């Protein structure tokens, strides 16, 4: 198992670099960029959320709530009054820190269930739903938000997987089995429930085809190539 700091740093680095690349293509705006980094980082901490009694997790969740609230304020910064923004900040923080955290920790006592790929896919997809249907964010941004949350969680699971193999390539006894979990027989009813829920979410998801078309459009990526190197270096290469 990788420790809390490793998870925090790696998730932040990976989502920071990825979000910056996407931002440079122009597919997401300023607040979208911040929210992607925040979600990717939060995703990197989520799988260990069931160990809710450990201080680092609480600290991490505080931080994630803070970033989430900040993301909300950034998103509506020009549409709302100062007072409304302050209320939004508090409400966003309170919602994440107390409601979401509470639901996660009470609902999932089974470590095997929350520390799994399908659970994280549900969270990611769930966030895309909220972003698109509730917050009315653009389709592309909404899909990126969900993917960043899920991607961060995958980074977490991969790290645990890496750390469960010691230097000589032998598996440590404690983490027998895989960290990158899709199914576990002892929790089969939980997994059945998870996959059923996931199927429903996939079926009613915001249009993924349209998102793919937007992302595979060569124009934004051409822009990225133009912006890749500092202007001075480009002059030298000419």
Whether residue 165 contacts residue 171, with contact meaning beta carbons closer than 8 Å, is answered with yes
Q: Closest distance between Zn ion and the C-beta of residue 47, in Å?
A: 5
Question: Toward Zn ion, which CB reaches closer, 48 or 144?
Answer: 48
Does 160 sit near Zn ion (CB under 5 A)? yes
Backbone angles phi, psi at 176, to 5 degrees: -65, 145
Contact region for Zn ion (CB under 5 A) — 16-24, 46-54, 146-154, 220-228? 46-54
Q: How many CB atoms lie within 10 A of CB 159?
A: 20
Q: Which is nearer to Zn ion, 47 or 118 (CB)?
A: 47
- Reduce the DSSP state of residue 7 to 3 states and report it: helix
Encoding tokens for residue 59?
A: 């600290």
User: Is 50 one of the binding residues for Zn ion (CB under 5 A)?
Assistant: no
Q: How far is the CB of 160 from Zn ion (least distance, A)?
A: 4
Token pair listed for 76: 């509506």
Q: What's the half-sphere exposure (Cβ side, CA atoms, 13 Å) at 107?
A: 12
Smallest gap from Cβ 85 to Zn ion, in A, equals 35
Of 48, 65, 146, 150, the residue at the interface with Zn ion (CB under 5 A) is 48
Which of 62, 123, 47, 132 shows the shortest CA–CA distance to 94?
62
> What is the closest distance, in whole angstroms, from the C-beta atom of residue 165 to Zn ion in the complex?
14
Residues that bind Zn ion (CB under 5 A): 47-48, 160
């Amino acid at each position: 198992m990788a420790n809390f700091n490793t998870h925090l740093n790696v998730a932040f680095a990976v989502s920071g670099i990825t979000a910056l690349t996407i931002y440079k293509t122009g597919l997401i705006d300023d607040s979208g960029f911040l929210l992607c980094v925040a979600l990717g980082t939060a995703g990197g901490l989520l799988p260990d959320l069931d160990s809710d009694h450990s201080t680092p997790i609480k600290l991490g969740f505080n931080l994630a709530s803070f970033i989430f609230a900040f993301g909300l304020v950034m998103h509506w910064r020009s549409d709302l009054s100062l007072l409304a923004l302050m209320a939004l900040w508090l409400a966003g923080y309170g919602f994440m820190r107390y409601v979401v955290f509470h639901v996660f920790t009470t609902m999932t006592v089974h470590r095997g269930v929350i520390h799994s790929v399908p659970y994280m896919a549900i969270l990611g997809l769930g966030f895309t739903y909220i972003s698109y249907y509730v917050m009315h964010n653009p389709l592309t941004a909404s899909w990126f938000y969900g993917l960043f949350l899920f991607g961060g969680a995958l980074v977490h699971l991969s790290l645990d997987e890496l750390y469960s193999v010691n230097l000589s390539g032998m598996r440590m006894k404690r983490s027998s089995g895989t960290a990158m979990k899709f199914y576990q027989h002892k929790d089969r009813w939980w997994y059945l429930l998870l996959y059923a829920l996931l199927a429903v979410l996939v079926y009613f998801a915001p249009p993924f085809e349209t998102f793919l078309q937007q992302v595979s459009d060569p124009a934004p990526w051409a822009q990225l190539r133009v912006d890749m190197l500092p202007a001075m270096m480009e002059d030298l290469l000419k």
